[in-house]
Amino acid sequence: MNKSNGIVMLIGGLLMVISTGLLVASMLMSGHDWASVAAKIVPWTYIIGSVAYVVAQRRDATDNGTLTLRRLYSIQLVSGICFVLAGLLMVENVYHFLRPLIASSIDGYFTYIQFVHNNWVVLLLVGAILQMYTTHRITSEMKK
């Protein structure tokens, strides 16, 4: 990993972590003035951070590895896609762009709640678990 790629990855990861923490804090403290402002800005900073993290990670992936490494890098790409989709669901959770399209009836509203509302947490968790697994496995495969 070159130095600039590592810095971009670190900044992207920090933006993701800080943005997620601020979004959760703004949801818990919704009565404060700062919370409504933070909730509108934080999903966009999360998306910027996740895209920077994923792009830096993809640039770091080596193509000349073994079959195992190539599979692990593919799983890492799925993890990155989960991170970016979590950011898009964060934006939807705050701005409700899709709700008028889906929730035109009571069944549509329940469908919206079931598949969209706060489900960014699930994608973030899946992405984080896959990321931890692949990071550990890639490190051990590189040592071989």
> What would the pLDDT profile of 70-100 be if each residue is shown by its tens digit?
999 999 999 999 999 999 999 998 888 887 7
Alpha carbon 121 to its chain centroid, in Å, reads: 9
pLDDT tens, residue by residue, 27-69: 888 888 888 888 899 999 999 999 999 999 999 877 667 899 9
Which tokens sit at 74?
Answer: 């593919």
Sign of CA dihedral 114, 116, 118, 122: positive
pLDDT band at 8 (very low <50, low <70, confident <90, very high): very high
Residues 6+ apart with CB under 8 A from 109: 102, 103
Average pLDDT of the residues of the chain? 90
- Residue 128 structural domain: 3-143
- State how many domains the chain has: 1
